[in-house]
Structure 1
Amino acid sequence: MLACMEPDLQLQFDNNHVARDMILALNDMFQTQARTERFNVSKGFVETKLAKGTTVGPHVIKMVGYTQSLEKLGFPIGPELATDFIIMSLPPSYGNFVMNYHMHGAEKGLNELCGMLKIAEADIKKGAGSSHVMAVQNKPKFKKKGNSWKKKKGKAKDEISKPNPPAPKAGPPADAKCFHCHGKGH
């Protein structure tokens, strides 16, 4: 253990060769530093939100980095909780993705989630560009074509549009054998 330490620490433990005592002393020295680092990583992980207009790939990679940092600090959060935090960090424009993800019970790893979010991002961007076009295309047309009460020329008074006769029902031919009584014609 002494060989792995920095020279300043080696001098402090030069007299003490009991490994257990050295470990306890090192824990006492560095415990507050590790606690502060864990707090800062956890805070960054929970407070990170995807800003509107930014790409989702680097955001998810950053979030995965936070999970790895917490794991190195001895506090793994697990893939399900990490997935929940990543999904919670998305803006409202990903609402349909989140709903579909939960409805289909997708149990994906963080890398698969990143890929799915990139596809959803492309769909959102594609949908956002075409929504204005659809609004223009679906605009109702109100054109006034003179007096609508006038009779149209060329049609007879008695001519009324008749509905088409009903199509014959599909079924067995008339000379087919009955399944129940084995008779024909009914």
Structure 2
Amino acid sequence: MDDMVDVGCLMLTTMTPELQKQHKDMVAYEMIQNLKEIYEGQALQEMYETSKALFQYKMSEGSPVGAHVIKMMGYIQALEKLGFPLNIELAFDVVLQSLPDSFNQFVLNFNMNEINKTLPQRKEKERKKSKGIGKTKPKGKNALKPKGGISKEGKCFHCDKPGHWKRNYFVYLEDVKKAKAVGASVSGTAHEKESS
């Protein structure tokens, strides 16, 4: 009971004079319930207005991207403060969709390169790369292939002939495999000699 009275007094001292008059005869729990009824409707209305502004906000062509993104992040943070947070993927999508058509290539690259991973995932990936772990390059059939054909001026850096890229040229890929196999067997033989 003593704690309840203390909390009630503390709540009353932080209120405006009008709210103090309304709540002076209530205990802390009743004050909380009454304040929820008063302000919950306002929070829903503010959430509606903020989300409407966020989803309808579009960047005009030629305006600075930095200022646009900062304003979008302000809306997203305001929603979070109101108790309606967006998950990271949706927040990225909303910002990307607000960009003009001249950013279509950027959006495509962003999505293709998995730039929209969460911050902890990016940090983990960077940590692995700095240690030399996690370097995964697609090989063979999974190698990147050019889209829309190869320009006629382009030549393979391995055989100096047009029509394919070095990274997709089967002869080059076989040479790389053989070199790795020879390197592994040489280092394995040296290791065997050391241990014996």
TM-score by length of 2: 0.53
1:54 to 52, 63, 69: 63
Between Structure 1 and Structure 2, whose CA radius of gyration is higher? 1
Aligned residue number for residue 14 of structure 2? 4
Unaligned runs of 5+ in 2: 1-10, 120-196
Aligned residue number for residue 158 of structure 1? none
Q: How does 1:170-181 map to 2 (within 5 A)?
A: none
Provide the C-alpha distance between the structure 1 equivalents of 2:99 and 2:118, rounded to a whole number of angstroms: 17
Q: How does 1:90-101 map to 2 (within 5 A)?
A: 90-101=99-110
Provide the C-alpha distance between the structure 2 equivalents of 1:10 and 1:61, rounded to a whole number of angstroms: 38
State the Cα RMSD in Å.
Answer: 1.5
Residue 114 (structure 2) pairs with residue 105 (structure 1):
yes
Q: How does 1:76-95 map to 2 (within 5 A)?
A: 76-95=85-104
TM-score by length of 1: 0.56
Q: Deviations over 1:46-68 (max 9, x none)?
A: 00001011111110000000011
Residue 25 (structure 2) pairs with residue 15 (structure 1):
yes
Unaligned runs of 5+ in 1: 111-186
More helix by share: 2
Deviation at 1:108, TM superposition (A): 5.3
Provide the C-alpha distance between the structure 1 equivalents of 2:116 and 2:42, rounded to a whole number of angstroms: 35
Identity of matched residues, %:
45
1:33 to 37, 42, 45: 42
Q: How does 1:70-81 map to 2 (within 5 A)?
A: 70-81=79-90
Runs of 4+ aligned residues of structure 1 deviating over 6 Å after TM superposition are none
Number of equivalences? 109
